């Protein structure tokens, strides 16, 4: 038996049944929603620290702030996706999450430079940030996970969904003077990511990171 046989012993062959896929999709949405609610509550609980640290970071420009913001969001989304695909990616989960975070950091770096240069359009910044974060992470994940057959689907889904979700999130949180908008934006980003992933997997149940 090769070392790869054991790696895929828990992966069921064939396309999942419609009921199984729908049930799994609902569970994914519930999972992302729970994390989104927790994230919103954490933001509210630590609002004073978040606002003060945000102001301190802004003194050095928006690059550090954007790197941290995008990096944390990418970490959360990537971690949940890795958990969902855990039976398929096995011990490579840390690489899956790592590439997600790296994509978020790169996106944050570019977003920070754009804001520092005077760009004041949250929808544009969100679109660019999300497209870079989702696009880079998915391309890297495809390469490492050998997701050849449906690699294009995963890339297109990630780039477009992250771009749209981040654009809306940035509009909500842009120049927020109170913490509630930041909490709502954080919760929205997670819940919307879960819904988009559920829709994608319903339409592409054959996706496997092999």
pLDDT at residue 207 in the model: 65
pLDDT at residue 10 in the model: 46
Spans of the chain, pLDDT less than 50: 1-16
Q: How many residues does the chain have?
A: 210
- 89-125 in b/e form (b: 16+ CB < 10 A) is beebbeebbbbbbbbbbbbbbbbbebbeeeeeebeeb
pLDDT at residue 131 in the model: 96
pLDDT at residue 163 in the model: 96
CB atoms inside a 10 Å sphere around CB 9? 8
pLDDT at residue 166 in the model: 96
pLDDT at residue 15 in the model: 46
Q: Residue 2: left if φ>0, alpha if ψ -120 to 50, beta else—which one?
A: beta
Q: What would the pLDDT profile of 154-205 be if each residue is shown by its tens digit? A: 999 999 999 999 999 999 988 766 789 999 999 999 999 999 999 988 887 6
pLDDT at residue 150 in the model: 77
pLDDT at residue 170 in the model: 93
pLDDT at residue 151 in the model: 82
């Amino acid at each position: 038996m090769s070392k790869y046989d054991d790696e895929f012993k828990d992966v069921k062959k064939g396309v999942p049944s419609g009921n199984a896929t729908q049930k799994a999709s609902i569970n994914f949405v519930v999972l992302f929603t729970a994390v989104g609610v927790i994230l919103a509550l954490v933001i509210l609980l630590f609002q004073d620290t978040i606002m003060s640290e945000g102001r301190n970071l802004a003194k050095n420009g928006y690059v550090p702030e954007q790197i941290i913001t995008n990096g944390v969001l990418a970490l959360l989304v990537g971690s949940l996706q890795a958990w969902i695909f855990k039976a398929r990616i096995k011990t490579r989960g840390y690489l899956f999450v790592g590439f997600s975070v790296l994509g978020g950091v790169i996106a944050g770096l570019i977003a920070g430079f754009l804001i520092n240069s005077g760009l004041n359009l949250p929808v544009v910044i969100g679109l660019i940030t999300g497209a870079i974060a989702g696009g880079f992470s998915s391309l890297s994940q495809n390469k490492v996970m050998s997701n050849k057959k449906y690699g294009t689907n995963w890339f297109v889904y990630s780039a477009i969904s992250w771009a749209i979700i981040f654009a809306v999130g940035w509009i909500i949180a842009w120049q927020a003077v109170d913490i509630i908008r930041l909490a709502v934006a954080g919760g929205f980003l997670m819940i919307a990511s879960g819904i988009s992933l559920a829709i994608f997997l319903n339409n592409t149940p054959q996706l496997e990171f092999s």
